[in-house]
Amino acid sequence: MSANLAGQNIIVTGGSRGIGKAIVKKLASQGARLAFSYASRVDAAEALLKELPGEGHFHFSLNLAEAEKVDSIMQETIKKLGGLNGLVNNAGITKDQILLRMKEEDFDSVIQTNLKGTYLCSKAVLKTMMKARGGSIVNLSSVIAHTGNSGQANYAASKAGIEAFTRSLANEMASRNVRANSVAPGFIATEMTDSLGDEVKEKILASIPLGRIAEAEEVASVVSFLLSNEASYITGQTIHVNGGLRM
């Protein structure tokens, strides 16, 4: 899958690590100008910035738990970019616990960061995209939105909410040529999956028809496609990147 993003201005939330980092690298390699956020690890964001090909990229600090600050940070970022063609709502957290023991604050913070964060950032870019009569928003979901998972009721609810939110947004914005889609990864090699024990890893592998955990780049290529004009007739969809884990 190839895509050309030359001249496009794109914001990626949580772009400093993991899947977000792979997305930022992919988009920069295709000619886009990137503004990507980090929450606390400025060192990781700084190191990534130095790796990127092309000019004019920058990172910015964004904590989705601080809802009241999100709109002004996003407006400032759009202004600095000089317009916006794409937004990737990638930042996301987990606070796993079986429901019997899940604290209300852990339920709330996962919904706040993942679902409300996606709402806040999407809303912040709409006027700019409407004026430009075009844009693409890509929201990171998860296979867990479809399967559920013990210990992840908060996370599963946030991701299922993101997909339903995305379909509504796609409907509302279609007449303005603003597209919105979700990407639902399965198991991806990140810091999170690195730390799993061998036994757990073997169980996971046995459940994946393609027989391996994905590289973050395999998610990034789908995100890049959805942002590009090659996906000009795709909106309101969830694209699964899970090795056949759920068909």
Q: What is the 3-state secondary structure (H, E, C) of 121-177?
A: HHHHHHHHHHHCCCEEEEEECCCHHHHCCCCCHHHHHHHHHHHHHHHHHHHHHHHHC
Nearer CB in complex with ligand NDP: 39/153: 39
Minimal distance in Å, beta carbon 8 to ligand NDP?
A: 21
Give min distance, CB of 237 to ligand NDP, in A: 16
| Residue that has been written with the tokens 């990864």 in this structure | 185
Distance in angstroms between the alpha carbons of the first and the last residue of the chain: 21
For ligand NDP, give the closer residue by CB, 18 or 135.
18
Sign of torsion, CA 217 154 108 99? negative
- Of the candidates 181, 159, 164, the one whose C-alpha atom is nearest the C-alpha of residue 228 is 181
Q: Which is nearer to ligand NDP, 43 or 172 (CB)?
A: 43
Q: How far is the CB of 43 from ligand NDP (least distance, A)?
A: 9
* 155 is annotated as an active-site residue: yes
**Site residues for ligand NDP per CB under 6 A:** 13-14, 16-20, 38-41, 44, 62-65, 90-93, 113, 140, 142, 185, 187-188, 190-193
CA 78 to chain centre: 18
Residues marked active site are found at 155
